[in-house]
Amino acid sequence: GTGKAEDIPVLCGMCVNKCAAFARVEDGVVTKLNPNPYFPKSRNMLCPRGNAGIQTTYDADRLKYPLIRIGERGDGQYKRVSWEQAYDAIVNGTDKFKGLKQILDEEKDNRATIGYANGEGLSKEGFEVLVGQKIGTPNYVDEVSICLETAGGGFFSTIGTYPEIDFEHADYLVIAGANRAEAIITPDTLDMFRYTKGRGLKTVCIDPRFTNTAIKSDKWLPINPGTDLAFVLALTWIVFSENLQNEEYMKKYGVGYQEYKQHILSHKYTPEWAEPICGIKAKEIYTIAREFMNAENPIYYPGRRSVFSANDYQLRRAMAIFQALSGNMDKKGGYIFGNRGLLPPEIINSPIYANTKERFDTEGIAFPTLKSGSWIVFRNMVLEGKNPYPVKAMLIRKHNPMMSVPNTAKTEEFLKKMELNVVIDILPTDTAMLADVILPEASYLERMSPVKSYGFLEPSVVMRKPAIKPLFETRTPEVIFKELGEKLSKPLFEVSKKHNSALQELIKEKGEKVAFEEGGYNLAEPFETPIEEKNKEIITEVFGEKAWEIIDEKGVYYPDIEKYHKQLNPNDFEYYPKSKRKYTTRGDMLQVICKNDSLSTNGIDAMPTWKDEWKFSVPAGKYRLITGRHAQFTQSGTQNNIMLRDLIPTNFVWINQREADKKGIKFGDMVEIKSEVGKIHLKAYPTEKIAPNQIFLLHGFGSESKGMEFAYGNGGNDAAIIKDDIEPMYGASVMHSTNCEIRKV
């Protein structure tokens, strides 16, 4: 070899957090990943998952070349083909499945007959552009409706943002339904624990389980699952009845504030009322409310995980309002609204497909989200024949609904019902095993991605460069989008010509070539400029030439980075001087929407309100399933990563020690967990850290894909037993409403 090592700036792709790193490359091989000290968001840190990113690239089970199904759906029989053949199969089909051209022709160019899905990531928007805007279907489902949709929606519709937290200057923290010490360990988690336990941040943890976060807190109070709303309403009642709120602040910024105060007091949401619902003693609730409001900079942690219960939207609204009552928002030590160094949006020339119908997944939902929809409602309406037109194809990228969407049996039935499934991924996942065409994507260390801005308090722009060229026959997402767009453009234009009278008129008037180009029917158009050029264009246009040089070398740019960035000690850096950090940005534009009358037009309470149907109860002989994730595992995406399997080999089911004793279950015994939608087998972990009527297991295990050696048959898949309940606001999946039986096998 050359004997030279290079350090290439990359952006971690192992979880949603996107920490910056440098890839050490020797003779074309990534040998080590190191943290990047220039990125304010990750501040020279890289967690175990980030370090294990090498394994993602060098996983022996990776998808290495395009595959076409030659057996029956799900039997794992595929044929290796060229990219050209794979694209051709997507357009024209084979003797085993139909292609998009035939499907769209049969449906008279109703583009909505195609559904598509994409998980979180930097190339997600490109896929949305290709399939949503250029191919032209509205039927999109992504991770939002199985993730933190109600948290985002509740906070946005109440205070106008989902905030960042300034832990450095906070002095009191209530963390409820979040397990930062073991569920997601990112730099801001470390910030939090840097100040807990007698170091200035008094912490109260509210959680059904005795977690590592509880251990690191000053106080732990177990709560009945799904009853946090009653707890927050009781805190709010104390504040109003004892006049502890920042009245001046709420009079200035609160919308419907007096009505909310009246609402809370007249409903008598007292701690004594909440105690039997939550399982938390009234005196503890009094103490927390008083301590919170007497603190200088208190924080009610907003939470960043999937939907617990049907009342989750109202819970997040109540949390945001409770935080606002302290006045500790848009300022140092509080909720940070900040502003991002935002990059300009791209303008796309989208064709108008006259015959395309609207999306239909709205049953039982008050405010359907037009963009990301509801996975469960979309899938179930198709299965129940309630869709007003056929959905015949699914195009799925970086998303594994077989393990992420509750009720796996229904997801399998849904995918088997399709006439065409295309999966773009890096591993042969459970979902990929139901595909007709599989396209292998380059891993995040093998590609450049679109530049992105992050951070409220200390905004910056960050760029991922390729550490190495794509391995095997894999291709980068943007190259796949471009090539697939090129292959589909003419055949699908022919379908539109046949069925779209407005297009026929345009062709008569302007000729076919002009109609094709001006009408936006060249589906590859947004991807014709290589991503490197596009990034350079954007950065130089917004920040100038010098900025491009800096981001190209360091992977990070923000105005005055060269002046501001300082090393304070071996592992501590300053990014912005304190005087330049964006602690306060909203000023008089801030609003706290306590009462939102537009909600009640669609049957949602205008103010957070408790309903008795939300009381926690479990039938005799059953257990309420609660689920979560581990910091070293990213949903099901890391399940085959042998480096991470060393840290967390499998998932166990937590069961209360006394319940386990009654059933003769010991540590490591194999048990069956059965719900009304499915059953799984996994090992038991008897413990006193969970209540007798609850069980807990980690998400992200239990794959049934034989293509992944380490993931196959390892542990249990929680999605196989979680019921497909939804909450009423957006139709997001409710994860904690399933009761199960458990027995030793």
Residues 289 and 182 in one domain: yes
State whether 84 and 158 are in the same domain: no
**Count H helices, E strands: the chain?**
26, 29
Whose CA is closest to 320, among 593, 602, 508, 527?
A: 593
Among residues 426, 363, 403, the alpha carbon closest in space to that of 55 is found at 426
Per-residue pLDDT at 44: 87
CATH of the domain at 426: 3.40.50.740
Distance CA 351, CA 250 (A): 47
Mean predicted lDDT score pLDDT of the chain: 92
What is the C-alpha separation between 631 and 526, in angstroms, rounded? 36
Residue 550 confidence (pLDDT): 96
Span 41-68, mean pLDDT? 91
Sign of the alpha-carbon dihedral angle for 202, 205, 210, 213 = negative
CA angle 142, 143, 144 (to 5 degrees): 95
377: in domain: yes
Q: Which of 523, 539, 559 is the last residue of a domain?
A: 523
Beta-bridged to residue 461, according to DSSP, are 453, 557
- Convert the pLDDT of each residue in 666-686 to its tens digit: 999 999 999 999 999 999 999
298-329 pLDDT tens trace: 999 998 777 889 999 999 999 999 999 999 99
d(CA 699, CA 722): 11
Q: What is the CATH number of the domain that holds 288?
A: 3.40.228.10
Q: Are residues 120 and 206 in the same domain?
A: no
Band (144; pLDDT cuts 50, 70, 90)? confident
Could you tell me if 313 and 250 lie in one domain?
A: yes
Instruction: Map tokens 């929606």 to a residue.
Output: 153
Is the predicted pLDDT of residue 337 greater than 90, yes or no? no
Q: 645 and 668 share a domain?
A: yes
627 phi and psi, to 5 degrees? Answer: -135, 160
Mean pLDDT of 489-513: 94
Q: Whole-angstrom Cα distance, residue 700 to residue 302?
A: 24
Kind plus residue range of the DSSP H or E element containing 219 = strand 219-221
Is residue 706 pLDDT above 90, yes or no?
A: yes
Q: Please compute the mean of the pLDDT values over residues 635-649 and round it to a whole number.
A: 77
Q: Which range, of 45-59, 95-109, 312-326, averages the lowest pLDDT?
A: 45-59
Whether residue 218 lies inside any domain: the answer is yes
pLDDT tens digits, 264-305: 999 999 999 999 999 999 999 999 999 999 999 999 999 877
Give the pair of three-digit tokens for residue 621.
């002989």
Residue 168 within a domain: yes
Q: Do residue 81 and residue 202 come from a single domain?
A: no
164 plus 282 within the same structural domain: yes
| pLDDT at residue 197, as a whole number | 65
pLDDT in tens, 659-669: 999 999 999 99
Whether 185 and 241 map to the same domain: the answer is: yes
In a domain? residue 622: yes
Tens-place pLDDT, residues 201-259:
899 999 999 998 898 899 999 999 999 999 999 999 999 999 999 999 999 999 999 99
Q: Which of 536, 567, 596 is the last residue of a domain?
A: 596
pLDDT, average across residues 393-422? 97
CATH of residue 632:
2.40.40.20
pLDDT, mean of residues 685-693: 96
Residue 430's pLDDT is: 95
Q: Does residue 1 register a pLDDT over 60?
A: no
pLDDT mean over 56-82:
95
Pair (168, 314) in one structural domain: yes
pTM summary value = 0.94
Segment among 303-307, 539-543, 544-548 with least mean pLDDT: 303-307
Query: For residue 304, is it within any domain?
Result: yes
Q: What is the pLDDT of residue 341?
A: 57
Q: What is the pLDDT of residue 2?
A: 65
Q: Is the model's pLDDT at 342 over the cut of 70?
A: no
Q: What percent of the chain clears pLDDT 90, i.e. is strictly above it?
A: 75
pLDDT reading at 427 higher than 80: yes
**Rounded distance, CA 85 to CA 76, Å?**
19
pLDDT number for residue 4: 84
Sequence letter at residue 677 = V
Cα–Cα distance, 22 to 105 (Å, whole number) = 48
Q: Mark which of 496, 523, 550 sits at the end of a domain.
A: 523
**What is the Cα–Cα distance from 102 to 95, expressed in whole angstroms?**
13
- Looking at the structure of the chain, the number of domains it has is 3
Q: Which residue has the higher pLDDT, 648 or 426?
A: 426
718 domain-assigned: yes
With cut-offs at 50, 70 and 90, classify the pLDDT of residue 13. Answer: confident
Q: 392: which residues sit within 8 A by CB, 6+ positions away? A: 98, 103, 106, 107, 113, 114, 418, 419, 420
Average pLDDT over residues 444-463: 90
Does 729 fall in a domain?
Answer: yes
The pLDDT assigned to 667 comes to 97
Residue with tokens 């624990």: 193
The reply to whether 296 and 172 lie within a common domain is yes
Residues 231 and 235: their CA atoms lie apart, in Å, by 6
Residue 635 confidence (pLDDT) above 70? no
| CA trace torsion 562, 563, 568, 569 (10° rounding) | 30
Higher pLDDT, 16 or 568: 568
Burial of 60 (0-12, 13-18, 19+ CB in 10 A): exposed
Alpha helices by DSSP H, 72-169: 83-92, 100-106, 124-127, 149-159
Query: Which band of pLDDT confidence, cut at 50, 70 and 90, is reported for residue 643?
Result: confident
Q: What is the C-alpha end-to-end distance of the chain, expressed in Å?
A: 55
Whether 699 is covered by a domain: the verdict is: yes
The residues with which 255 forms a beta bridge, in sequence order, are 593
Tokens 């967690």: give the residue. Answer: 47
Please say whether the beta carbons of 406 and 375 come within 8 A.
Answer: no
159: containing domain: 149-339+590-596
| 723 in the same domain as 626 | yes
On the question of pLDDT at 583 being above 90, the answer is no
Q: Look at strands 556-557 and 460-462 and give their pairing.
A: antiparallel
Give 722's DSSP letter: S
Closest C-alpha to 137, from 319, 361, 307: 361
Instruction: Tell me the pLDDT band of 424, cut-offs 50, 70 and 90.
Output: very high
Q: Is the same domain home to 670 and 717?
A: yes
Contact 506, 519 (CB under 8 A): yes
pLDDT in tens, 454-475: 888 888 999 999 999 999 999 9
Q: How confident is the model at residue 191 (pLDDT cuts 50, 70, 90)?
A: confident
Span 520-533, pLDDT tens digits: 999 999 999 999 99
Give, in degrees to the nearest 5, the angle at Cα 263 between 616 and 285.
50
pLDDT for the residue 288: 98
